[in-house]
Every structure is written in structure tokens, then in C-alpha cells.
Chains A and B, each alone.
Chain A
Amino acid sequence: MEASDNIILEVKDLKQYFPIHTGFLQRAVGYVRAVDGVSFFIRENEVLGLVGESGCGKTTTGRAILRLYDPTAGEIWYRKGNGERVEISHISQKEMKPLRREMRMIFQDPFSSLNPRLTVKDIIGEPLAIHGVARGKEMEDRVAELMRAVGLDPAYMRRYPHEFSGGQRQRIGLARTLSLSPRLIIADEPVSALDVSIQAQVLNLLQELQERLGLTLLFIAHDLSVVEHVSNRIAVMYVGKIVEMAETEEVLRHPLHPYTEALISAVPPADPDIRLHRIVLEGEVASPVHPPTGCIFHPRCRYAENVCGEEEPQLVEAEPDHYVSCHFAAELSLLGIGG
């Protein structure tokens, strides 16, 4: 992949396996390959959408990057504010702590991600306290400023999370994420737990803040229509692997992977008169415990041939800035949006 200067995060062949324990002695009898060789990069000030169906390893990827898990293998290169590139996949939590000021996360569930026993001020101010940035009056001012930035009234500072609605809670979470002026935010399905009407509000707020503060976003979602709204580029994930990555328009109009094609065909068009060419995938999602040989998608792929079951395709740059892992990427002509 390209090694240009404006790449803020580069993930190389990241693997995150979870052992399955059974029996009295808790022996590991197998592994869930939640993330199995994921590679991608994000450029500065860019929004990369990471899409895939539930259980494909999107969230695990995000958490492994932030070292909430200890990755099994692979490399995670992060470029700090001063331009220095660091590899963080196996550093200690102590070494990770200063980096946590720059790399933050937005959580999916606005209900369980806020400690019910803390006031909004303490929740938003907690990162400031942990990193010794501000305390007392100074912290209160900073919290008020953050609350205004996300569209909350600072007068509510002394309230508890249970006094807020889902959308407001997600704004509190957003303020907490922004409190240390991060450079990279991993947004883990930030709107999927919200009502559709509120989804749009939070998405617009996120987009506005991203542009104003020059943030870089890894936007994780299972809903292509949400991702297409905010992302510059899209990476499509299937059972622990990235199958396609390119500019948003490019992915939607001109997909190169059969799975992406199926995903796009499932997006409902705005005009109900448009006739859908909906591709219904056969069979079940492959198990991350016993993944199929060869291409992980081949048991469900309608274009699959013998080679697909034998040889695993690599993620290659099939066209400029368009990465895909399919043996027949060059031969197939797949349908994009509105096609």
C-alpha cells in the first residue's frame, strides 16, 4: 500500500483471535477468528466507513486498534501529531496512555456507555482528569464549552445521564470523546442505537465537527446508507476480512467484489418506483471459528469457480486506489447503485 505522508493510521494484517474455553480446566479448544488479517489505511482529515454485517469483526477491529484488546498479530502504525510514526499493536498500556489523548472512540450504545452514577460534568470531564489536563473551575469551563459544541445546554452539567434522551446521551458521549481534542476518532456504530429522526441529527453534528475540527474518522456501521452519507472512502468487511476498499462513489457505482454488489443491492432506493435487482445471498454467513478454505465468500458467491475454494485471494489494488480481494475482480462486471 502507499506510504504517503498523510496517512494517519495504517493497519497491516491485523489479527484478533479469541480462544474458546470449555470444561473444568478451561482449555482452549478453538479460536474465534474475529479479525483475520485486516489491512487498511486512513488519510488525515478523511472519513473511512467500515461496513459489514453484524458479527463480521468491525467493532473488534476498532477496539483492537485502540488496544482495548491485545491483538493476536499484525501491525498498527499511527502517525502522531508531531509526525512521528509509532507501531502500537504490542506496546504496553502505560505507553499507550499518552496516545489515548489523540485516539478516541465513540460508543454504540448511549445508554450503557455512560456511568449512571456520575453527573454529566464528571462524565465529560473524566478524560481531562485522567490525563491531568484540567481540574476545578478550568475543567468546568472546558466541559461547558464542549457541551455547547455538541448542542447541549451547559446548565444541565450537574444532571445524571438518566435524565437525558438517547440522542442527548449520544451527544454527551461525543463531548466526552472530543474533550482531549483528539486527532483520530473511531466511531463504533454511533447512530445505530438511535431513532431514525435523531440519527440524522447526530450524523450531521458529527460531520460538522469533523470538518470544523479537522478530525479523522473511522466510521463503523452495518448500514451502507448511513456510511455513504458521511464517508470519503468505504471499506467493506466480511467475516474478519476486508474484501473491498475504495472511494465512496467508486464503491457504490462500480463495485469489484460480489459481496459489495449484494450489499449495495440491499440498500432501499429513495424512489419506490425504481425496480430493485435485489441479490439474495444463498446460505449462511461463514463461521469465524471454522472459516472456509480459499476465498471466505466463495460458498455464497454466485460467480464462484473452483479456484475460489482452493486459493485465498489477496487484497490488491486492482484499479488506482481501489483495493479488492477477488480472483475475478478484473473479469466480472458487477452492478453498482441504480444499476
Chain B
Amino acid sequence: MNQTDLIEPAASAVLEEKELHESYFQLVWQRFKKSKPAIIGGLMLLMLVILAFFSDFFSPTDPVKLDMPASFTPPQRVHFVDSEGKFHLRPFTYLQVVELDPTTYAPQWTEDQSQRYHLRFFVKSWEYKLLGIIPSRWHLYGVEEGGTVYLLGTDKFGRDLWGRACRAGRISLTLSLFATFISVAVGSVLGVVSGYYGGGIDNVLQRFVEFVQSFPQLPLWMALAAIIPRTWDSFRVFVIMAIIFALLGWTVLAREVRGKVMAFRETDFILAAKEMGASDARIIFRHLYPNSLSHIIVVLTLTIPDIILAEAFLSFLGIGIQAPLTSWGLLMHDAQNLQTLGSHPWIMSPVIFIIIAVLGFNFLGDGLRDAADPYAIV
């Protein structure tokens, strides 16, 4: 409907029948669907979230229990064909046996092909609480009694890296989401205030943003992380870590929202709201905020990967998340030692999870950028 100004009775009757107005989220979804990368990104993240939340279900062995004899077991292969060349419909693993090299004393892992251990799906094994509430013993897969299956190998303490990486996703994802929400909340409020009021307030806030931005991020993070007392319980550490990451992340958003608001401030609909006698709070929350929302959502999806990377980096250095909590970065903590890394390269495997998460959020952000503003003023 472009230039049809007259409401013709016939046309309006037809329109009334099916009332084709769409809500904001329907419109966003319609446009979002059309972007293939966004859908792929969304699926990647969905997969990670499911793996993280149901990590106990996906891990065949208890990811917390120590099992020193299995220390640094390399990733096990899942076979269909046995040593005699016979094909088996059910996949199986061989037992991994360790021998010390007589000259270097380095452990040598070999497959003991005398005994097959078949993989089973939906098996009962170690007990856990589903989502922390429902006790359950069910697992996606496991092997017959006596065998092991370590798809990504094990860490120093003989714990299944796959199971631990799934579980580490809980902290890595929630921490980055939490930190991003704090930084978005702070950044968008300060950005809106700065852009809307302008003048002196704007000047002070923007100089403050520049001050915060001028900090070298890494040393500051390290310093802040270093002053967290070791005696604190893990939840408090989690919250403080999130705040530390948020502290330096809000500035970019504050700048961008300010620019957006400054552009809106001069538009007629804000003037119209003033003309009606609307309060500042009403103008900010009913007019400026909803119109900046699409922008905020996009920045949000692009801030999360930054924080995932930052968290991984600090935890890798050993000053981020502390055991007993696990995060993707912390899992790779052992990889710091070049000798350990050289002989056990599989302990770097959580990197794959980080890459998937970062790519997923970037793809999603790209798609959202196009979709989030269906009402853009023409």
C-alpha cells in the first residue's frame, strides 16, 4: 500500500478478514529465517547449549571423579572393523594399554586388540542430577563393562575431556552471557542518557568512556583477577569475574547507543512526544530505547564472543575461573606447559568448542543485524 490513500470499503473488508498485521518478533523471525549464516550460527549455539546443560547425559564417565591410571589417555578410536577385517554392525573400542618406553620412559599407548568392548546407547551408568534437580543414571552412550571410551582423550587426572568440555560450556557460556548483560545494561543506559541530554552530561560521560577505554585491557584484567581472594567460594568468583569482564566491555556499546540516540533525538517523533508533554523517562524508555533495541541486540551478540575469548585467555593463564569450576580456557590450562602439550596434543581439543561458540555468535549477530530492524524509517 503506497499511494492508496482512500480507504475503499471493498479493500478494507478483505483486509479485515485476515488482519495481517504482524508482531515485532514475527517480522524479525521472517527476515532472520532468510539468512543462512544466521540459522547455521543459531544451530551451532543451540548445540553447544544443549551439550552444556545436559553434559552429564552426554558423558559416559563422571567428569569430576579422578582416575589416575587413565591419565593422559589419547583419544580412542571407535571401530567398526576388527583386527581380523571382520565388519561389526555395532561400533566398539579396544582397551588402551600403556607401556613405558624402555629408553625414554615416555608412556606409549597401544590398543589391546584381544578384546572388543561394544558401544551401547542409552545406558545406565554413574548417577547425576539432571539440571541439578532430577536424579538420573541415564547416559547417551557407554561401553560394556571393563572397557573405556574417551572420544577426546583424558586430562592429567584421567577424566574424560569430552565430558569435561561439555560441562565447561556451562561456565563459559553463562559467564559470558552474564557479563554481556551487565555491560549492555550499563552501556545502553549511559549511552542513552549521554545522547539524550547532551551538553555537559554528554561531555563528562564521553570523557569517562575515553578514560576507561585508554586502560590496557589485559594487564587491568589480570590485576583485577589477581586481587580476588582465593578463599572465596566459586559462585562469588564467578560473579566477580563477570563484573570484571563487563567493566571494560560497556564502553563500545555506550558510544554506539549514544550515536544512535543523538540521531533519533532530532527526529520528529521525539519532538512530537515532547509536544505532547511526555516526561524524559517516557521519551527514553518508550521512544528512544525500543528504537535502539535492534542495535543493542546486535552489539550484544558481538560482545559475547569477545568475552568468551577473554575468559578463555585469563583462565588459560590460570587467573580466571578456578577449579572446581571448569571453563574451556581452564581445561587448556595444562597446555601451557610445552612439554605436556608436545606429548599430549589432544588436551587442546576444547579449542574446538571455543571456535564453534565464537563463530556461532558472529554468524548469529550478522543475521540479526539485518533482521532486527523491520520498521526502519523509510
Query: Which residues of A sit under 8 angstroms from B12, Cβ to Cβ?
Result: 153, 155
A198 contacts which chain B residues (CB < 8 A)? 3, 5
Query: Is B276's CB under 8 angstroms from A130's CB?
Result: yes
- Contact among B7, B21, B267 with A159 in the assembled complex (CB-CB below 8 Å): B21
Partner of B291, one of A96, A116, A131, A162: A116
User: A158 — nearest CB in chain B belongs to which residue?
Assistant: B21
A325 within 8 A of B: no
Cβ–Cβ < 8 Å partners of A31 in chain B: none
A117 CB contact (under 8 Å) in B15, B24, B272, B275: B24
Q: Smallest CB–CB gap between B100 and chain A, Å?
A: 69
List the A residue with the shortest CB-CB distance to B269: A115
In the complex, which residues of chain B have a beta carbon less than 8 angstroms from the beta carbon of A163? 1, 21
Asked if A68 and B5 make an inter-chain contact with CB atoms under 8 angstroms apart, the answer reads no
B376 at the interface (CB under 8 A from A): yes
For the complex, is B287 an interface residue (Cβ under 8 Å from A)? yes
Q: Which of B289-343 contact A (CB under 8 A)?
A: 290-291
Q: Given A111-B377, A116-B291, A164-B1, verify A104-B275 contact (CB < 8 Å).
A: yes
Q: Does A296 sit at the interface, judged by CB under 8 A?
A: no
Partner of A66, one of B269, B275, B290: B275
A116 touches B272 (CB 8 A): no
A116 CA to B291 CA, complexed, in Å: 8
Task: Determine if B271 is an interface residue (Cβ-Cβ < 8 Å).
Answer: yes
B5 CB → nearest A CB, Å? 3
Known contacts A152-B7, A165-B5; is-contact A114 B277 (Cβ 8 Å): no
In the assembled complex, A90 has its CB within 8 A of some CB on chain B:
no
Which residues 115-160 in A have Cβ within 8 Å of B in the complex?
115-118, 126-127, 130-131, 151-153, 155-156, 158-160
Do A117 and B290 contact each other (CB < 8 Å), given the known contacts A127-B276, A131-B277, A165-B1? yes
Q: B15 CB to closest chain A CB, in angstroms?
A: 8
The distance in angstroms between the C-alpha atoms of A127 and B291, with both chains bound, is 19
| A97 to B287 CA separation, bound complex (whole angstroms) | 19
Instruction: Give the residues in chain A near B291, CB-CB below 8 Å.
Output: 115-117
Tell me if A17 counts as interface (CB < 8 A to partner B).
no
Tell whether B268 is near chain A: CB-to-CB under 8 Å.
yes
A68-B274, A104-B275, A112-B269 are known contacts. Are A160 and B7 too (CB-CB below 8 A)?
no
Q: Which residues of B contact A66 (CB under 8 A)?
A: 275
Cα–Cα distance between A114 and B282 once the two chains are bound (Å):
15
Report the separation of the CA atoms of residues A214 and B297 in the bound assembly, to the nearest whole angstrom: 48
Please, how many angstroms separate the alpha-carbon atoms of A159 and B7 in the complex? 15
Question: Contacts A100-B276, A130-B282 hold; do A116 and B376 have CB atoms under 8 A apart?
Answer: yes
Given contacts A100-B276, A155-B16, A165-B4, contact A116 B375 (CB under 8 A): yes
Is the beta-carbon distance between B273 and A126 smaller than 8 angstroms?
yes
A112 cross-chain contacts in B, Cβ below 8 A: 267-269, 377
Q: Are A167 and B275 in contact (CB under 8 A)?
A: no
Q: Give the chain B neighbours of A195 by CB distance below 8 A.
A: 3
Question: CB of B223 within 8 A of chain A?
Answer: no
Min CB distance A284 to B, Å, is 27
- Which one of A105, A131, A162, A201 contacts B378 once the chains associate, using CB atoms below 8 Å? A162
Q: Which residues of A sit under 8 angstroms from B269, Cβ to Cβ?
A: 112-115
* Contact of B277 (CB < 8 Å), options: A97, A116, A153: A97
> Which residues from B are CB-within-8-Å of A166?
3, 5
Whether, in the assembled complex, B114 has its beta carbon less than 8 Å from a beta carbon of chain A, the answer is no
Q: Does A168 contact B (CB under 8 A)?
A: yes
Residue of B with least CB distance to A93: B277
User: Does A265 touch B at the CB level, under 8 Å?
Assistant: no
Chain A residues contacting B16 (CB-CB under 8 Å) are 153, 155
- Output the residue of B1, B7, B290 with the most chain A CB within 10 A: B7
Best-buried of A63, A115, A168, A176 by chain B (most CB within 10 Å)? A115
Any chain B CB within 8 A of the CB of A41?
no
- Closest residue of chain B to A63, judged by CB? B271
Question: Do B268 and A100 touch (CB < 8 A)?
Answer: no
Pair A160/B377 contact, Cβ less than 8 Å = no
- Interface members, chain B 20-60 (any A CB < 8 Å): 21, 24
Report the bound CA distance from A164 to B274 in whole Å: 24
Q: Which of B24, B268, B375 contacts A113 (CB 8 A)?
A: B268
Chain A residues lying within 8 Å of B97, measured Cβ to Cβ, are none
Whether B2 is near chain A, meaning CB under 8 Å from some CB there, is yes
Least CB distance from A275 to B in Å reads 35
A13 within 8 A of B: no
Contact of A130 with B277 in the complex, beta carbons under 8 Å: yes
Please name the residue on chain A nearest to B274 by beta carbon. Answer: A68
Complex interface bits, A99-115 against B, C-beta within 8 A gives 1, otherwise 0: 01100110111011111
User: Does B278 reach chain A (CB closer than 8 Å)?
Assistant: yes
Q: How many Å lie between the Cα of A115 and that of B290 in the bound state?
A: 10
For A167, the closest partner residue in chain B by CB is B5
CB distance from B14 to the nearest CB of A (A): 11
Give the 10 A-B CB pairs with smallest separation, nearest first.
Answer: A167-B5, A116-B375, A113-B268, A100-B277, A117-B290, A97-B277, A112-B268, A115-B269, A159-B21, A127-B276
21 pairs, A vs B, C-beta closer than 8 Å = A100-B275, A104-B275, A107-B268, A109-B268, A112-B377, A113-B272, A116-B291, A117-B287, A117-B291, A126-B273, A127-B276, A127-B277, A130-B282, A153-B7, A153-B16, A160-B21, A160-B375, A165-B1, A165-B3, A168-B5, A201-B6
Residues of A within 8 A of B (CB): 63, 66, 68, 93, 96-97, 100-101, 104-105, 107-109, 111-118, 126-127, 130-131, 151-153, 155-156, 158-168, 173, 176, 195, 198, 201
Which B residues are closer than 8 A to A by beta carbons? Answer: 1-7, 12, 15-16, 19, 21, 24, 267-269, 271-279, 282, 286-287, 290-291, 374-378
Given contacts A107-B268, A117-B290, A117-B291, 10 further A-B contacts (CB under 8 A): A68-B271, A100-B275, A105-B272, A105-B275, A112-B267, A113-B272, A115-B291, A130-B278, A159-B21, A201-B5
